[in-house]
Amino acid sequence: MKTDKIITIYDIAERLKLAPSTISRGLQDNPAVNAKTRKKIFDTANEMGYRFNTFARNLRNQKTNTIGVIVPRLNSYFISAILAGIEKELNSAGYNMLISQSLELEENEVKYAKAMLHNRVDGLIVNLAANTQSLSHFDGYIRHNIPLLFVDRVVENDDFNKVVINNTKAGYEITSHLIGQGCRKIAHLTGSLMRNVYHDRKAGYMTALAEHGIPYDEQLVFETDLTEESSIKAAQQILAMKVRPDALFVANDLSAVICMKVFKDAGLLIPEDIALAGFNNDVISRISEPMLTTVNYPGEEMGKMAARHLVAHIRGESDMTLANTIILKSQLVIRASSLKKKSNDE
């Protein structure tokens, strides 16, 4: 049932022909209401789009001063930087942050989006899971005019507010740099191409190859989940090639450093035998040996910008009906892992 109306316990009571007090007790899972009736109440509440309010003290003004944030995973330096930026901005604006991680699964993202809606968050910031296809779990936010913003991993839809970098440009620059170092057989290790960040980085990679007259070879592109296991497997596949690539562009730093270790353990020299470049400018890129060429990706600033933009919507300082895409600058950071010409000159 889709409606812009805020559903109350009285609406549910009318639908089920029960007393509002019974509905209230049922929604609180009170054993005074039998289990079968409680289930019927919960099912009807969900069907009608009722927002379960666990913050009773805010019933009068319908505000919780809480912003929901859903991210793919918490064990990521880049995601931590985004969260730090969001938290700093929200704290200074008087808001709290409620965080959930989808673990890269759409089903978890659906569950947490609905839970946060029921907990009456005042707004939601989302970094999409790897396999998310449908966006229907965000419909409730749209129906109830709750500000929704996507950050980094976003939807290719102009109806939503987004904060991103130009991943196509960054992928192009890093591939052009490798070509400038004399590399002609460049492999690319990427994440799920369903997500804009990986799709766009690959697009930049392909554009750079085309502009320099280097044929695109699908066998040199490895689409993985960028875990340690899949990164090791991709590196081993590269080692097994009859004619190995002379460079590898990896869509994040951790996977790049994992590949670097596999190559070094096999006796290859970096960058002489194979140049390496990552993405994100994580701490690991500065402590690897050699240090990793990468793209500086302003995670904390991205988080601050997302929170600032969302709060402005909540406070009515910007028009929610106008969708904006905010593009932050990124920067190529060249280090020893890709400098083939430097070693030649010496």
Q: Please write the tens of the pLDDT for every residue from 69-127.
A: 999 999 888 999 999 999 999 999 999 999 999 999 999 999 999 999 988 899 999 99
With bands split at pLDDT 50, 70 and 90, how would you rate the model's confidence at 345?
very low
Residue 255, token pair as written in the block = 């996977």
Closest CA to 311 of 90, 126, 157, 119: 90
Strand partners, 95: none
Q: Tell me how far CA of residue 222 lies from CA of 20, 171, 172, 235, in angstroms.
A: 57, 15, 17, 10
CATH 3.40.50.2300 residue spans of the chain: 60-164+299-328, 167-297+332-345
Give the span between the Cα atoms of 177 and 277, in whole angstroms. 10
In 3D, which of 278, 157, 273, 181 has the Cα closest to residue 226? 278
Q: What top-level class would CATH report for the domain 167-297+332-345?
A: alpha beta
Alpha carbon of residue 198 to chain centroid: 11
DSSP class per residue in 70-95: EES-SS-HHHHHHHHHHHHHHHHHT-
The superfamily in CATH containing domain 60-164+299-328 is: Response regulator (3.40.50.2300)
Closest among 328, 11, 343, 302 to 149, alpha carbons compared? 302
At residue 15's C-alpha, the angle toward residues 9 and 17, to 5°, is 90
Q: Which two tokens stand for residue 224?
A: 């993985």
Mean per-residue pLDDT, 13-38: 87
Residues near 261 by Cβ (< 8 Å), separated by ≥ 6? none
Cα of 169 vs its chain's centroid, Å: 19
The token duo for 144 is: 């109830």
Say how many CA atoms lie within 13 Å of 255 toward its Cβ.
Answer: 25
Q: Residue 60 pLDDT more than 50?
A: no
Q: Which of 282, 276, 284, 283 is nearest to 335 (CA)?
A: 276
* Collapsed DSSP state (helix, strand, coil) of residue 275: strand
pLDDT tens digits, 198-243: 999 999 999 999 999 999 999 999 999 999 999 999 999 999 999 9
